[in-house]
Structure 1
Amino acid sequence: MQADETSGRCGWAGSEPIYVAYHDTEWGVPEYDSRALWEKLILDGFQAGLSWITILKKRDNFRAAFEGFDPNVIAGWGEAEVLRLLQDEGIIRHRGKIEATIVNARAWQKVEQRVGFDRFMWDYVGGTPLQNAWPTLADVPAKTALSEQVSKDLKKEGFKFCGPTIVYAWMQACGLINDHLTGCPQREVCAGLGR
């Protein structure tokens, strides 16, 4: 799939308004906020095995259920909160992913205190987004040596649901890697936003 012929945007964005808005305003925009990076990693973990649009449509419900994705709050949660979330029809009710969110909040706290989660992540790309130049969606890899390394390092820090494919999708979404297709107008926009 190439860039959409009428809009030029990446073909995966389709025509559904929520997906188009996500593509045009969020995906690939460099994210430097430590908490926001963590939220996006958690949502990418929940997306495993599902379509991203499913998560997008439930994102506000997730934010409400998970206290605005405040890892300092979530780190103190236990079985009572897991049981509450398993009853919440507005989110993905998967015990393993819910429990991983709590574990990941605690792991985030440790990294945040030691070096800052934002710095920890951006150091992998030297603080500047990697700029790829893929002409078609078929050219974009599902994972790379870099995402495999980041995944391995996150797991060493105690994170769960952060395999190399999830990590690559997350790095794309957070703008650590600019994977807008070469014909997409957002490619140059995102390239210009890197620090």
Structure 2
Amino acid sequence: MGKSILIAAMMLVCANTVAAATPAAKAPAAKPLQPSELAGWPRMRATDFGCMLEKRFGADAGRFGCAADYDRIVWSDGCAGGENYNAGPELPARVAKTLPAPVESVSLDWEHGDLRSVTVYFDRKLGNAEIEKTFGVRIDGSNRDNLMSVNVDECAKGKTCLSLDGFEHIGGADLEEGCVPNPAPKAAKKAKGKHS
């Protein structure tokens, strides 16, 4: 019995030595982003977006990654602002560069833990028909449920940008009663509900 344990231990050591000496296989390259995917991002939770960046592109989403619990993050509100009110992961430049031309860059606008809007900047002026075909959206017309509006503007001389909006900005001035001081802790616990 002692011999069989010794042999098993030696086999384990040898297997570990061979495994350590074998070069690690390269992770498969992530499929490049397609412009039409961006139209599905507005209203996405910061933690879902961060987890997608981690799983698909191996990007570090920090506190918004797969291990984050959306419901445990204090997102704050339109009155108090706070460090988390406009917080969310950024689209890494190396990931944005996987988008085909004429996309030059992409910016994300977060509000209360949800992606409020995605702005796509182009390297030249584009017409509405080309944008609609490339992104699978309608400039004037009905769109997917997560899109409140789709707007095209001239962002710089000779360059177009596309704004995919999930919801309107909500600040203190937009609240029906305006900004009131935060409720007492007991009242805050009663009022606390699950974010949807």
Q: Calculate the TM-score normalised by the size of structure 2.
A: 0.24
**Greater helix content:** 1
Does 1 or 2 have the higher relative contact order (CA < 8 Å, sep 6+)? 1
**Greater strand content:** 2
